[in-house]
Chain A
């Protein structure tokens, strides 16, 4: 990675209710690329995101956005400095229209054109309440909301939660497009292989620490390796055994390779 990182974390620790959840995380997010954070449930991924966005206060370490330290800024100043955050669990404002959903996050200069270009379906529905949209469209509105302020770095936390596979693929394509536009993307994703496909660099968190970092290509399709990284030695063996014994089922949701097929969902 030749370019200077758009977002650089060094030795970051984040507490939740005085319990250290994320410890000593050092990580770089390059501009124009997708950086993936993987890890089992409870590894501290979301807490890390909250720490970067300022919604949880980092206790140690430094966070630099384009070289400027932001770890002491309140969340709204971090956002204004160029940080977009797509929170976990679709957070579209259901009683506001799509357009209002986007406008609430718009800073002075940002325009909605880019968002509508990325998501033409939103433009057609811009006067509808977000509550009347499908889950995928709501997530598009949330993604769009993170983009209207023209961010340098976008944090995306589990945007595929509860969405149909087809929609997930569509959104992943958009994330890759954001990177192509020069934005630095930090992506947390339950469908590891989907994320590894569009990502360039991957970090794996276990119990709040980075246990692996390297190019995404290394981990693509390497399920045993992922199990080991997610759970450590013995647990990983158990997970691998489970996967062998019940090949139809996922050994763990966290490391599942692909979302289940659409056909299996017919009512």
Chain B
């Protein structure tokens, strides 16, 4: 089987190249800076996409993983480690992995809101630790050096897009593997996953590890953007707000991750332009997340469901053609069971629920 869907891959890569070619040339310096923030946010969103969007686990400590990534990147910078930012990013991500696995351990026993509380507890304690001590290089103002062709803001934007794209492609490939698919199964039913030969423990820990890695890379990117970071960049409130955005948008699809990053980045500016208090943005995110939770589906999932729905309706209309049945033998008769899916499919017409 093809490891990647060629069409989406082409679309995604095309969009990335286009963004790299066009945006740095048309945007003002201020907006380029925001665009970097958006892409950094998008990478952090990808980490939410793994743990929240795919595995369906509530994690409120992604920014703590990001803080670990940023810390390691800055520490390596201060120490003058070889390899430059790209290597440090990977190391920062890897440093977050054991912590992610450790947080994943309680997730094997508890789930849902209770787990959210545990992860939030970790976010709070990371906050305390970070505030007790400054990030490396903060005292003597050692600035982080960006790698060679990407030193300017426009260049760094391209750098973030590249990192985002690499992660997106890797995640798309992963989604087709047994592990990636097992996350979707975990979200639906751990029982069923176990009955189908999925080690729930391993699959969940892998989700935590990979999402922590991506968040760590995101934190490193943030350090690269700001050159110096402060603990409040990774405050627990950030994790919470991003979680709300993740629920609302569905960052397990790449366009959702980008949207989430853009939202986070431009929200403050929009609020300012609209003469609204900054905190009001949080209210909007909260309301959106509530809507998504009520509907049970994020925005990007909804778009895809609509598409599937159209395909379903077409198939049913074809089936309800002249013969009133599918060409192949036993046409499935109408099942009398109620349909629980909230969709307009059932109210369509005579050919709404079955092919006969």
What is A's interface to B at a CB cutoff of 8 Å?
53-55, 74-77, 79-80, 85, 87, 90-91, 93-97, 100, 103-108, 120-121, 124-125, 127-129, 131-132, 134-137, 140, 145-146, 149, 162-164, 166-167, 170, 262, 265
Contact = CB atoms under 8 A, between A and B. Distances in A.
B2 to A, nearest CB: 13
Interface string B330-343: 11111111011101
Given A128-B315, A132-B341, A103 B336 contact: no
Given A87-B191, A128-B308, 17 more contacts: A53-B195, A76-B196, A76-B197, A93-B185, A93-B188, A93-B192, A104-B181, A104-B196, A128-B312, A129-B305, A132-B308, A134-B332, A134-B353, A134-B354, A136-B335, A149-B196, A164-B335
22 contacts: A53-B195, A76-B196, A76-B198, A77-B197, A79-B197, A93-B192, A94-B340, A94-B341, A103-B181, A104-B196, A105-B197, A124-B315, A124-B328, A127-B308, A128-B311, A132-B341, A149-B196, A149-B197, A162-B335, A166-B333, A170-B332, A262-B333
A36 B333 CA distance: 26
Given A134-B354, A163-B337, A93 B197 contact: no
A225 B135 CA distance: 79
Given A134-B354, A170-B330, A145 B184 contact: no
Interface of B: 178, 181-182, 184-185, 188-189, 191-200, 297, 301, 305, 308-309, 311-312, 315, 326, 328-337, 339-341, 343, 345, 353-354
A97 B315 CA distance: 14
User: Closest 7 CB pairs between A and B?
Assistant: A135-B335, A79-B197, A105-B196, A135-B337, A75-B194, A131-B341, A132-B312
A79 B196 contact: yes
Nearest to B354: A134
A103 B332 CA distance: 22
Nearest to A105: B196
A49 to B, nearest CB: 10
Q: Which of B199, B301, B340 has the most CB of A within 10 A?
A: B199
Contacts of B198: 76, 79, 104
A95 B305 contact: yes
A128 B312 CA distance: 6
* Residue picked from A75, A94, A120, most chain B C-beta under 10 Å: A75
Given A135-B337, A163-B335, A166-B333, A95 B301 contact: yes
B103 to A, nearest CB: 22
Nearest to B335: A135
Contacts of A79: 194-198
A134 B335 contact: yes
B128 to A, nearest CB: 37
A80 B194 contact: no
A110 to B, nearest CB: 10
A135 to B, nearest CB: 3
B195 A136 contact: no
A96 to B, nearest CB: 6
A50 to B, nearest CB: 9
Contacts of B297: 95
B311 A127 contact: yes
A264 B136 CA distance: 76
Contacts of B353: 134
B332 A129 contact: no
Given A95-B305, A136-B335, A55 B195 contact: yes
Contacts of B333: 134, 136, 164, 166-167, 262
A124 B316 CA distance: 11
B144 to A, nearest CB: 42
Contacts of A167: 332-333, 335
A120 B197 CA distance: 25
A260 to B, nearest CB: 11
A163 B334 CA distance: 9
A129 B178 CA distance: 19
Contacts of A125: 312, 315
Contact of B308 (A97, A104, A121): A97
Contacts of B182: 104
Nearest to B188: A93
B315 A162 contact: no
Nearest to A155: B195
